[in-house]
Structure 1
């Protein structure tokens, strides 16, 4: 089976490795172009491009699957294309190139959380169970027939980064099983059933904490936007980022957004219902530090209120 692999971020690397380890002939890798990273904005290849180079697999770098890219894919003569977080839509004209189509590994139990941020939305909405699905790409957004699925329990402490890392490895196994079934003629695409929910890409504004919400909702949102785009609030007009919070059992008479030190020495913040404790915060232009250290310098005997 000749496989074209399309993927870009770190979470796609386990699937590429799994396909190679399973003995499939990965004829080329399609990935996004180099992007500027870090404070110095150094042009850097994607994690998938780096791994493909280590494996001596031909690399196609493109931000969209245009006619030129389609011609290159055609020359590679893939039997199937396997997609994991490539980062661009595949046009209908390209779907016909591989004999067996394009198979996408999506990190949700479709039709739940179609879109760019399925893991993040699963956490924000408090899902107890999530998973991954493989499906045949069609003209819609994550609407194609299902080829396989697996489930994963969600831990209360999970951040999007942690849950996505787990799914990237268990999902890689699912993708290999799906491609193997196609190779053996045993694949059985089944239409998606149930109500669809959408998970569009999260913006910076989506990561701002609304302290009037209940504590449990705030914790879920913060977990869902960690590490990207990163939870934040403002204090006296200055942006403050922070890591995951914990539900506080300390007696709470704080107003939403009002911060104080608990008897245990933790920084707690009032919400619309209950309070949360801050572990780590990152002031603008500084490194992450403990919430207690930051609060010691920020309060100086005055009230601290998150806006």
Structure 2
């Protein structure tokens, strides 16, 4: 099937235009994003390591955080290494098969992250609004089902996007106005009808917004109403403390995503979109471990215990 697809398309490789074509910016950007990549890998690995080693972090909240770090860790391998190579080489080239593979994993991880964040919002809602039955509602079995569902939804979205992209023909230009194989920059290069692709993209976006967005919004509206009725200042502070990190992550992730895809049709908007996409493809995976660690007493305690074990 793969050979048949490649035979239908005269384009066998693509060239990334990257973030900028200004030579004087290439090396500085290489070091900036190399630092970003290193921090992303080390930060997420460290957080997963801490959660795995410390039994007091074996709770639903940290189970979801472990999965968020796992997605971000894998996510960082999808586009960053190729992007870094583009800064130090004359041309950043990717094969047709490599491009479709990158597109699949990009769609898989970005959609999975949406649903992992949704599960985390639901977990916070149950913890604050239904504390007496929290252990029942967020049992190990339920947590596992939520994560399996998140990955299955991400996989289904990736299969739909990639399957629709493979059926297209690419005849003339092979220069992608991006630093990775993204949906809309690729659609601009196709010489066949992209109606089905646009329809599928709109449908998947609607599902993500309705399922993920509605659950997150409903959860935090319920949490806010619950906090308003709290008489204890300590309870209010604790509730905000457990939700604050997640709200920051959701705001950055969904905010940059909306700015990227709000006007996907024109060449100008696609060009602007690649700069906004830096936030959710490169910045969010790096910031998540910091956001969830700096103000988190449990993680700080885990760091102290782990350091004590290593030094003993």
TM-score interval, normalised by the smaller of the two chains? under 0.3
Which one has a larger percent strand, Structure 1 or Structure 2? 1
- How does the TM-score come out when normalised to structure 2? 0.24
Higher relative contact order (CA closer than 8 Å, sequence separation 6+): 2
Q: Larger radius of gyration, structure 1 or 2?
A: 1
Normalised by the size of structure 1, how large is the TM-score? 0.24
